[in-house]
Amino acid sequence: MIHATPSLISQIERGKANPSLSTLKSIADVFKIPIGLLFEYESKSTVSPVIRKNTHKKIITEGNVRYSLLTPGIADMEAIIIEFPPEASSGEMMYEHEGYECGYLLKGELTIEIEDTVYVMQPGDSISFESHKRHRMTNRGNVTAVTVWMNAVPWIFANQ
């Protein structure tokens, strides 16, 4: 179910609003596509194993949350750097998807809600869980939280 008004969809289309990850997931689910297909990227005929600084594919969502792809061209996993500014989250709604995921917090503090349990991560902490469990991430701290995240089944940048 899409939790976005026609007005929000119009603002997104015109580049006037950045939706949350949970809103993007709802939109992509309607079309049965990965979130990454909602974005335009330059296509390259060959994929280098090295991605140079400032050239990673990025998705910026509501709250200026930045998702940077570390593993293009890999079909069975995706590694992402996620940067959550203070008070930013993956969205108001919890979401679920196929697969298994693991995260490692490099900087800041990050609150992870999985079903009815809340975990507060500090730098050096890691977490892993089945992605079909409803979850959400929020930075309740006062500095940008930076995490390395792995999805065993790509769903944000899938097929990129």
Digit-coded pLDDT (tens) for 49-76? 888 899 998 989 999 999 999 987 777 8
Q: Are 154 and 31 in contact (CB under 8 A)?
A: no
Asked whether the predicted pLDDT for residue 126 surpasses 80, the reply is yes
Tell me how far the alpha carbon of residue 6 is from its chain's centroid.
23
Question: Percentages helix, strand, coil for the chain, rounded to the nearest 5?
Answer: 15, 30, 50
> Can you give the residue ranges of every domain in the chain?
6-42+56-151
Q: CA–CA separation, 139 vs 87, rounded Å? A: 5
Total-model pTM? 0.76
The torsion of the CA quartet 136, 80, 40, 155, rounded to 10 degrees, works out to -60
Q: Which CATH number fits domain 6-42+56-151: 1.10.150.130, 2.60.120.10, 3.40.50.2300, 2.40.220.10?
A: 2.60.120.10
Q: Are 83 and 94 in contact (CB under 8 A)?
A: no
